[in-house]
Amino acid sequence: MRAREIIFEDYTTTEVQNERLAFVTSMLTDYPGLVNKIYRHIKLDDEPEGNLNIANALDKKHGYAGDEIDHQRSAEVFEYVIQSLITSSGDYNDIENFVTTFGSHNYINIPVLLSPGKHAWEDWLNGSKDTTPDSPKGVSKQFIVDLFTNLYKPPQMKILGSTRGPGELALAVLSSKITFADIGDLIIQTGEEAFTSVEVKASMNAEGKGGRLKNSSGDFKPVNLFDVIAEFKPDNEVDPEDDSVYIYNQLLDLTNNYKGTNGWKIVSSPNNKPSKTTNIIVAGKAYDAIVPGLGKKIIIELLSAYHKADTSVMNDAINSYKDANRMNNNIKKLAYNNYVNVLADKKFDHFLFLGRASKTSTSMPATAKGYEDLITDVTLGTINWNDGLAGMSIQADFGKATPPEENT
Q: What is the pLDDT of residues 16-64, one digit of tens each?
A: 777 777 776 776 676 666 666 666 666 666 665 657 788 888 998 888 8
**Does residue 306 lie within any of the structural domains?**
yes
**Does residue 185 lie within any of the structural domains?**
yes
Do 258 and 133 have their domain in common? no
Count the helices and strands in the chain (H runs, E runs).
17, 13
Do 169 and 299 have their domain in common? no
Single pTM value for the model: 0.78
C-alpha triplet 137, 138, 143: angle, nearest 5°: 135
Domain that holds residue 116: 33-193
Do 158 and 256 have their domain in common? no
**Does residue 205 lie within any of the structural domains?**
no
- CB burial class (10 A; 0-12, 13-18, 19+) of residue 135? exposed
Do 143 and 246 have their domain in common? no
**pLDDT of 275 above 50:** yes
Distance CA 278, CA 385 (A): 10
**Does residue 165 lie within any of the structural domains?**
yes
**Does residue 8 lie within any of the structural domains?**
no
**Does residue 20 lie within any of the structural domains?**
no
Do 40 and 152 have their domain in common? yes
**Does residue 13 lie within any of the structural domains?**
no
Do 187 and 228 have their domain in common? no
Do 166 and 287 have their domain in common? no
**Does residue 4 lie within any of the structural domains?**
no
Q: Which of 187, 185, 176, 190 is nearest to 111 (CA)?
A: 190
Do 159 and 104 have their domain in common? yes
| pLDDT for position 31 | 64
Q: Which of 113, 83, 98 is nearest to 143 (CA)?
A: 98
Do 313 and 273 have their domain in common? yes
Task: Work out the mean pLDDT of the chain and round it to a whole number.
Answer: 83
Instruction: Count the domains in the chain.
Output: 2
